[in-house]
Chain A
Amino acid sequence: MSRSSATLTAGTPDVLNPASASAAVAAAAAAPPALSVEKLCVGYRRGLFAPVRRVVHELSLSVRPGEVVGFLGPNGAGKSSTIKAVMGFLTPESGAVSVFGHEAGTTLAKAKIGYLPEVALYYPFLTPLETLRLYGRLQGLGGSALEQEAMDLLKRVGLEGREKQQLKTFSKGMQQRLGIAQALLGSPDLLVLDEVTSGVDPIGRRHLRELLREVKETGTTIFFSSHELNEVAQLCDRVVLIRAGRVVDERAMDETLRAGVTSALEDYFLQTLTEADRDAEARR
Chain B
Amino acid sequence: MEAITRKAVIYGALAHASLLESARRKDLYVAGILAVLMIGAAATIGTFGVKGLELFLKDVALTVIGVLSTVLAVLFAARQIPEEVSHRTVYPLLARPISRADLIVGKFLGAWLLSVVGLLLFAAVAAGALAYYGLSLGAIFGQFLLLRAFALAIIVALTMALSLVMTPGATVTMSLLLAVGSATFSNAVKLLVPSSSSAQQVLLKGAYYVLPQLNLFDLTKKVSYGWQPVSTGAIGALAVYALLFTALFLSLGALRFRRQAL
Contacts and interface: CB of A to CB of B under 8 A. Distances in A.
Nearest to A111: B97
B94 A88 contact: yes
A123 interface: yes
A90 interface: yes
A205 B13 CA distance: 32
Contact of B17 (A90, A91, A117, A126): A126
A107 B9 CA distance: 15
A10 interface: no
Interface string B104-143: 0000000000000000000000000000000000000000
Contacts of A125: 20-21, 24-25
A117 B25 CA distance: 25
A90 B97 contact: no
Interface stretch (B43-51, B83-91, B192-200, B240-248): B83-91
A89 B92 contact: no
A91 B9 contact: no
B254 to A, nearest CB: 15
B191 interface: no
Contacts of B6: 140
B100 to A, nearest CB: 9
A115 B87 contact: no
A110 B20 contact: no
A117 B95 CA distance: 9
Q: Contact size class for A?
A: 20 to 34
A142 interface: yes
Nearest to A114: B95
Nearest to B95: A115
A142 B9 CA distance: 9
Interface stretch (A130-138, A253-261, A270-278): A130-138
A108 interface: yes
B95 A110 contact: yes
Contacts of A108: 97
Contacts of A123: 17, 21, 89
Can you list the 8 inter-chain pairs with the closest CB atoms, starting with the nearest? A115-B95, A138-B96, A137-B13, A125-B24, A111-B97, A90-B261, A117-B91, A107-B97
20 contacts: A87-B91, A87-B95, A89-B261, A89-B262, A107-B98, A110-B95, A110-B98, A115-B95, A117-B88, A119-B88, A122-B89, A125-B20, A125-B24, A126-B24, A134-B14, A134-B16, A135-B92, A135-B96, A138-B13, A138-B93
Given A84-B262, A125-B24, 18 more contacts: A87-B95, A89-B91, A89-B94, A90-B261, A110-B94, A110-B95, A113-B95, A115-B91, A117-B88, A119-B88, A121-B87, A125-B20, A126-B20, A126-B24, A134-B14, A134-B17, A138-B14, A138-B98
